[in-house]
Amino acid sequence: MPRPEILETFANPYSDRDYEIHMDCNEFTSLCPLGGIESDAEELAQLTGGAPDFGIIRITYVPAELCLELKSLKLYLWSFRNDGIFYERAVNRILDDLAAASKPKWMKVVGDFNLRGGIKSVITATYGAR
């Protein structure tokens, strides 16, 4: 289960200037949900051949008062490791959780997922206007 409560922030040290923070999190992994059910899919996956998903989560934002703390962000992304979740939902969920925690002026989350069945998927969602 994604654990947004892990996310920590710190005061933006240059809050009087709009600037951009970009992070590529190269080792995101979750599980492909089975039967559309978003639950702990680990045991089922090993029995049935459901595929773990791998990808890169790319986050870009313009901070307002708060910056995302990197270590807690890493822990938050690890909390997807044993969840079954669709790409579309994962990317929008991450955007919602990060925006709720850091209240940025603008934020974009891109999920750049590895090839599955010969198809590569990239999902892009945005919060706020630039």
Supply the residues annotated as catalytic.
Answer: 32, 53
Closest of 30, 32, 44 to residue 1, by C-alpha: 30
CA distance 19 to 5: 26
**Which of residues 7, 73, 101, 107 is near a second copy by CB under 8 A?**
73
Neighbours of 34 (CB within 10 A): 15
In the complex, the smallest distance separating the C-beta of residue 87 from a second copy, rounded to whole angstroms, is 8
In the complex, minimum distance from the CB of residue 51 to a second copy, in angstroms, rounded to a whole number: 7
Instruction: Give CA–CA dist 22/126, Å, rounded.
Output: 14
* CA atoms of 8 and 18, how far apart (whole Å): 21
d(CA 57, CA 90): 10
Q: Which two tokens stand for residue 98?
A: 């990060």
Q: Taking the complex as a whole, how short is the minimal distance between the CB of residue 111 and a second copy, in angstroms?
A: 10
* Site string (35-64) toward a second copy, x via CB under 8 A: -x-----x--xx--x-xx-x--------x-
For a second copy, give the closer residue by CB, 88 or 100.
Answer: 88
Residues that bind a second copy (CB under 8 A): 3, 6, 10, 12-14, 17-27, 29, 36, 42, 45-46, 49, 51-52, 54, 63, 67, 70-71, 73-75, 78-79, 81-82, 86, 88-89, 91-92, 114-126
